[in-house]
């Protein structure tokens, strides 16, 4: 059985761009933030992923079929989103392909956007954003920018693999993770992470519409959140609550 994973390019892909990855995960923070960024900056669909490992699904938008895992971009930015909860067995090859493709396209850096599950999320008015980086230089840059660093802890899922593969390929990678609900869509956390992204990389994004549409997004995102939760359970995502031991 063929298990190919291929990124099919539809338009010219810029080089030296920043690549943002926002796949469905904790609180759908990455997906909500990246989708909003795509729509706010009017990014064009430049590529999509074709893989036998993904369910046989197309998403219809305005009557036209689209691959669920798509890549958008402009001259400076490449954004990867999936409207499908990525099945656990597909995560490894898909993340490997995304990082390899990013390297071939000479991306400047990879930024994974996501959430950190926090049990007391409903008591937090303004979710805090934490960063992690693939090398000390980037970590220093994040530190200097004033971002709190996730010093110790586990990362599980797409952003963990994007970090792992980027390190092995000596690529620059950053994870921006906002405190969020584990399995409720969290547009506020997405807005906070976008604010930090906008501040650190000097890309202007107004998150006010995202906050205004929060309730509508929470209603619309129930199904994908439910399916994402099933995959998170399979990948033992709850390990992110664990305390690592390194003496």
Q: Which residues are at the interface with another protein (CB under 8 A)?
A: 122-123, 181, 183-185, 214-216, 218-220, 222-223, 225-226, 233-234
Residue 177: Cβ-neighbour burial (10 angstroms; 0-12, 13-18, 19+): buried
Cβ at position 207, least distance to another protein in Å: 17
Residue with tokens 């593969």: 165
Please identify, using beta-carbon distances, which residue of 160 and 221 lies nearer to another protein: 221
Cβ at position 72, least distance to another protein in Å: 19
Q: Report the candidate in 237, 154, 190 with the shortest Cα–Cα distance to residue 38.
A: 190
Interacting residues of 206 by C-beta distance below 8 A, sequence separation 6+: 40
Please identify, using beta-carbon distances, which residue of 16 and 126 lies nearer to another protein: 126
Please identify, using beta-carbon distances, which residue of 75 and 122 lies nearer to another protein: 122
Cβ at position 128, least distance to another protein in Å: 17
Please identify, using beta-carbon distances, which residue of 42 and 122 lies nearer to another protein: 122
Residue with tokens 């850096």: 109
Question: Buried (b) or exposed (e) across 209-219, using 16+ Cβ within 10 A?
Answer: ebeeebeebbe
Interacting residues of 168 by C-beta distance below 8 A, sequence separation 6+: none
Please identify, using beta-carbon distances, which residue of 81 and 98 lies nearer to another protein: 81
Please identify, using beta-carbon distances, which residue of 171 and 235 lies nearer to another protein: 235
Between the alpha carbon of residue 152 and those of residues 78, 155, 159, 247, the distances in Å are 29, 10, 15, 12
Secondary structure of the chain: what % helix, strand, coil (to 5)? 40, 25, 35
80 forms beta bridges with 21, 71
Q: How many CB atoms are located within 10 Å of the residue 141 CB?
A: 17
Please identify, using beta-carbon distances, which residue of 10 and 222 lies nearer to another protein: 222
**In a 3-state reduction of DSSP, which class is residue 22?**
strand
Cβ at position 147, least distance to another protein in Å: 25
């Amino acid at each position: 059985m063929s298990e190919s994973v291929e990124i099919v390019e539809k338009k010219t892909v810029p080089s030296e761009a920043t690549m943002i990855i926002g796949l469905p995960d904790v609180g759908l923070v990455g997906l909500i933030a990246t989708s909003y960024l795509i729509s706010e900056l009017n990014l064009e669909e430049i590529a999509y992923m074709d893989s036998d490992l993904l369910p046989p699904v197309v998403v219809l938008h305005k009557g036209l079929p689209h691959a669920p895992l798509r890549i958008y971009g402009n001259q400076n930015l490449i954004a990867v989103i999936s409207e499908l909860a990525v099945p656990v067995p597909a995560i490894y090859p898909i993340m490997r392909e995304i990082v390899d493709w990013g390297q071939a396209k000479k991306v400047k850096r990879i930024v994974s956007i996501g959430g950190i599950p926090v049990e007391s999320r409903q008591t937090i008015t303004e979710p805090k954003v934490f960063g992690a980086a693939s090398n000390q230089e980037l970590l220093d840059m994040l530190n200097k920018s004033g971002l709190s660093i996730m010093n110790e802890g586990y990362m599980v899922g797409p952003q963990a693999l994007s970090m792992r593969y980027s390190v092995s390929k000596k690529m620059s990678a950053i994870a921006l993770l906002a405190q969020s609900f584990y399995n409720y869509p969290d547009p506020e956390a997405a807005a906070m992470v976008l604010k930090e992204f906008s501040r650190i990389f000097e890309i202007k994004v107004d998150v006010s519409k995202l906050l205004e549409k929060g309730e509508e997004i929470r209603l619309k995102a129930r199904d994908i959140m439910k399916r994402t939760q099933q995959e998170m359970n399979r990948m033992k995502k709850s390990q992110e609550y664990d305390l690592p031991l390194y003496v």
